[in-house]
Amino acid sequence: MTEPAARGADFGALLVPVPMRTAGQRIAERLVTAIALGEFEPGQRLPTERELAATLEVSRTTVREALQRLQAAGYVTTRRGRGGGTFIQTGAGPGSEEMIKRTLVPAWDQLTELLDYRRLIEQQIARTAAERRSGADIETIRRVVAEYAHAVGRDASRLADHALHQAIARATHNPRLAELSARIRREVGLGFDAEPYTPHMRRRALRQHPTLAEAVIAGDPDRAARLADRHFSLTDDMLTELRARLHMRTGGENDARSQGQ
Amino acid sequence: MTEPAARGADFGALLVPVPMRTAGQRIAERLVTAIALGEFEPGQRLPTERELAATLEVSRTTVREALQRLQAAGYVTTRRGRGGGTFIQTGAGPGSEEMIKRTLVPAWDQLTELLDYRRLIEQQIARTAAERRSGADIETIRRVVAEYAHAVGRDASRLADHALHQAIARATHNPRLAELSARIRREVGLGFDAEPYTPHMRRRALRQHPTLAEAVIAGDPDRAARLADRHFSLTDDMLTELRARLHMRTGGENDARSQGQ
DNA sequence: GTCTAAAGGACTGGTTTTTAGACCATTTTG
DNA sequence: CAAAATGGTCTAAAAACCAGTCCTTTAGAC
């Protein structure tokens, strides 16, 4: 569709706006989104400014700029001194829901598209893994599934989840596919290599993981694909719930220029 | 593995850099994507630098920086004077693509891996397209298949082939998947000296294309996937041909099934 | 031909953003 | 109390970006 016209074609749609947000703004938005998706528990401490600067590959000044935005918006508080740091503000009031909406809505379509992308890729990964897994793969997958069952707490769960999907991705014996999977998962985590997380989701994942793993181990591609498809729609469901809870509308809402400060 | 430290969450291993791309880089990437997706016809003229600066809301300096990147990478050429401008490079010119080829052309085992990767991705694309294609998609696919049959010569065939697979990729209604497909096809094309074409291959494609298209149109995911799988497993022939053409040696025989990282 | 308009190319000066680093202030821990 | 770990502050320099001016090349009009 959209055949380019003879001359003076319709660049319009695909090549127009270039938002020039500063690094501080982008980092702040990323963190707000992460908070909205439940990446952090209330009261949880973020890495130190110096750590963040190092891992985000950005100067500490920039990190501080982002954190100060969050602080001003009431998402976090900071404490000085040893053992201090930046802490997720517990029970961000209804006032900050507005902020979440403002940050989240413009990115909504993009997020949905990304999750769909991941679902399709992971589906194919599961299918291929079921076709190609070797004895060593089976062993690894078994071990990792067991570890997931024992993991307690959200961080441990995330690591175990990551390990399982990585094990399956590697069982495809195509490094590029495995790398793609890892990259998408990282992106979904909004830079935090972690999924949106709720206890409810963990229970579901806990049920689904062994089944998926068994399908791969058993060498049943279609079943593996079907299960992966269902498994990776978890996040979709969560987003839907979030949208309902925030009474968000994802229609036009094309937030144009909000040149703060 | 990577036991979380006693204190606080193990962000250290999980955080990922925020790439601080400059505006020039981002614009260049956007254009490369659009070109890879076939948004432009070869030889087509982009808007003038001054127009681009206005519509992208950046300075002309920044636009020029982006365009110079594209030029250096061989995606576009520029002509000065009245009626001049920036033009999409018609695929044939291997002159400036030499450099890209050098960087992209993988070692032997990596090429094998790349082709396998493509096969898996395109398989999933065919499957998804068969599930999601709309009436408009069907129309486009029908038209493009017909065009392929009429195409004569190497360039025309290649363009028609590209058009068909792009039409199918778009029928997935996931832009990222379509982009991935385009990127892989481009990389494969460069890896094969931009001419993976023999009369024999064309005859085969001429037989396979309508069948694949019909499966997508008919909405038969499994059949579409199977056909795509077969279609994209011309790899043996291609590899043999490539080896002959480039007098390549298979090098270190790094088992492509290696568990990198 | 000559002239003019429309393009890219090159430069200048100035503002904002980002960086790297040193140093200060505060708080916990040994 | 001393050490260590944290956020807070400041400065100088680099990089990115911008707005504008002028130059060079080229096609088309006269």
What span, in angstroms and rounded, lies between the C-alpha atoms of B55 and B66?
14
Q: Considering CB atoms only, which of A155, A176, A186 is closest to B9?
A: A155
The residue of chain A nearest to residue B166, with distances taken between CA atoms, is A1
Write out pLDDT tens, residues B10-38: 343 345 566 678 899 989 988 887 877 77
Same-domain status, B124 and B72: no
Token pair listed for B120: 């898996």
Average pLDDT of B156-183?
90
Same-domain status, A149 and A238: yes
Average pLDDT of B163-171?
94
The answer to whether residue B171 is domain-embedded is yes
pTM: 0.78
CA A145 to chain CA centroid, Å, is 21
Is the pLDDT higher at A30 or at B107?
Answer: A30
Residue type, B54: A
Same-domain status, A118 and A214: yes
Same-domain status, A110 and A227: yes
State the pLDDT at residue A132.
Answer: 97
pLDDT at A26 over 90: no
Q: Do A121 and B117 touch (CB under 8 A)?
A: no
Distance A82 CA to D3 C1' (A): 11
> Which nucleotide shows the minimum CA-to-C1' distance to residue A81?
C27
Is the pLDDT higher at A95 or at A166?
Answer: A166
pLDDT at B254 over 70: no
Give A120's contacts in chain B (Cβ within 8 Å). 124, 128, 172, 174, 177
Confidence of residue A230 (pLDDT cuts 50, 70, 90): very high
Q: Do B14 and A51 touch (CB under 8 A)?
A: no
State the pLDDT at residue B139.
Answer: 96
pLDDT at B234 over 80: no
Confidence of residue A251 (pLDDT cuts 50, 70, 90): very low
Query: What DSSP state is assigned to residue A194?
Result: S
pLDDT at A174 over 60: yes
> First-to-last CA distance in chain A?
42
pLDDT at A127 over 90: yes
Write out pLDDT tens, residues B40-93: 888 889 999 999 999 999 999 999 999 999 998 888 999 999 989 999 986 544
Same-domain status, A55 and A149: no
Token pair listed for B123: 């398989």
State the pLDDT at residue A68.
Answer: 93
Cβ of A65 near strand C (distance < 7 A)? yes
Q: Do A18 and B27 touch (CB under 8 A)?
A: yes
Residue reference for tokens 């979030």? A242
Instruction: Report the number of distinct structural domains present in chain A.
Output: 2
> Which nucleotide shows the minimum CA-to-C1' distance to residue A63?
C18
Tell me if A18 sits within 8 A of B57, measured CB to CB: yes
Classify residue A22 by burial, with Cβ atoms within 10 Å: 0-12, 13-18, 19+. Answer: middle
Write out pLDDT tens, residues B85-114: 999 986 544 444 444 444 455 566 777 888
Average pLDDT of A171-197?
77
Cβ of B44 near strand C (distance < 7 A)? no
Cβ of A251 near strand D (distance < 7 A)? no
Same-domain status, A106 and A231: yes
Same-domain status, A106 and A150: yes
Tell me if A202 sits within 8 A of A143, measured CB to CB: no
State the pLDDT at residue B232.
Answer: 85
> Which of A57, A88, A119 is at the close of a domain?
A88
State the pLDDT at residue B57.
Answer: 92
Give B223's contacts in chain A (Cβ within 8 Å). none
Q: What CATH number has the domain bearing residue B137?
A: 1.20.120.530
> Which of A88, A111, A138 is at the close of a domain?
A88
Q: What CATH number has the domain bearing residue A82?
A: 1.10.10.10
To the nearest 10 degrees (0 to 180), the angle between helices B23-36 and B175-191 is: 80
The residue of chain A nearest to residue B173, with distances taken between CA atoms, is A113
* Domain extent at residue B37: 21-88
Residue type, A83: G
Tell me if B83 sits within 8 A of B90, measured CB to CB: no
Q: Is B166 on the interface with A (CB under 8 A)?
A: no
> Which nucleotide shows the minimum CA-to-C1' distance to residue A86?
D7
> Which nucleotide shows the minimum CA-to-C1' distance to residue A18?
D17
Give A178's contacts in chain B (Cβ within 8 Å). 260
Same-domain status, B116 and B30: no
State the pLDDT at residue B258.
Answer: 37
Cβ of A22 near strand C (distance < 7 A)? yes
Kindly tell me the sign of the dihedral angle through the C-alpha atoms of B21, B176, B40, A1. Answer: negative
The answer to whether residue A14 is domain-embedded is no
The answer to whether residue B225 is domain-embedded is yes
Q: Which of A61, A118, A125, A176 is most worth mutating to test chain B (most B CB atoms within 10 A of its CB)?
A: A176
3-state secondary structure labels for all residues of chain B: CCCCCCCCCCCCCCECCCCCCCHHHHHHHHHHHHHHCCCCCCCCECCCHHHHHHHHCCCHHHHHHHHHHHHHHCCEEEECCCCCEEEECCCCCCCCHHHHHHHHCCCHHHHHHHHHHHHHHHHHHHHHHHHHCCHHHHHHHHHHHHHHHHCCCHHHHHHHHHHHHHHHHHCCCCHHHHHHHHHHHHHHHHHCCCCCCCHHHHHHHHHHHHHHHHHHHHCCHHHHHHHHHHHCCCHHHHHHHHHHHHCCCCCCCCCCCCCCC
Q: Which of A10, A18, A257 is most worth mutating to test chain B (most B CB atoms within 10 A of its CB)?
A: A18
Same-domain status, B241 and B138: yes
The answer to whether residue A7 is domain-embedded is no
φ, ψ of residue B52 to 5 degrees: the values are: -60, -45
CA distances, B11 to each of A52, B16, B89 (Å): 9, 9, 45
> Which of B67, B88, B109 is at the close of a domain?
B88
The answer to whether residue B42 is domain-embedded is yes
Burial B59-98 (b: 16+ CB within 10 A, else e): eeebbbbbbebbbebbbbbeeeeeeebbbbbebeeeebbe
Same-domain status, A214 and A116: yes
pLDDT at A207 over 70: yes
Cβ of B86 near strand C (distance < 7 A)? yes
Selection from A147, A148, A159, A167 nearest residue A206 by Cα: A148
Same-domain status, A74 and A110: no
Selection from A77, A47, A71 nearest residue A192 by Cα: A47
Residue reference for tokens 């507005």? A98
Cβ of A86 near strand D (distance < 7 A)? yes
Is the pLDDT higher at A119 or at B158?
Answer: A119
Write out pLDDT tens, residues A39-55: 777 888 999 999 999 98
Tell me if A191 sits within 8 A of B12, measured CB to CB: no
Chain B, 12-51: which have a CB under 8 Å from a chain A CB?
A: 12-20, 23, 26-27, 30-31, 34, 39-41, 44-47
State the pLDDT at residue B164.
Answer: 92
Confidence of residue A156 (pLDDT cuts 50, 70, 90): confident
To the nearest 10 degrees (0 to 180), the angle between helices A234-246 and A108-132 is: 160
The strand C neighbours among B residues 128-187, by Cβ under 7 Å, are none
The answer to whether residue B261 is domain-embedded is no
Strand C nucleotides, any atom under 7 Å from protein beta carbons: they are: 5-12, 17-21, 25-29
The answer to whether residue A108 is domain-embedded is yes
Same-domain status, B133 and B231: yes
The answer to whether residue B4 is domain-embedded is no
pLDDT at A99 over 70: no
State the pLDDT at residue A248.
Answer: 61
Average pLDDT of A14-36?
78
Give A124's contacts in chain B (Cβ within 8 Å). 120-121, 123-124
Burial A130-161 (b: 16+ CB within 10 A, else e): bbbbeeebbebbeebbeebeebeebbbbbbbb
What span, in angstroms and rounded, lies between the C-alpha atoms of B105 and B260?
19
Average pLDDT of B107-133?
90
Token pair listed for A26: 């982008």
Q: In whole numbers, what is the pLDDT of chain B averaged over residues?
A: 77
Q: In whole numbers, what is the pLDDT of chain A averaged over residues?
A: 80
For residue A85, the surrounding DSSP H or E stretch is: strand A85-88
Residue type, A216: V
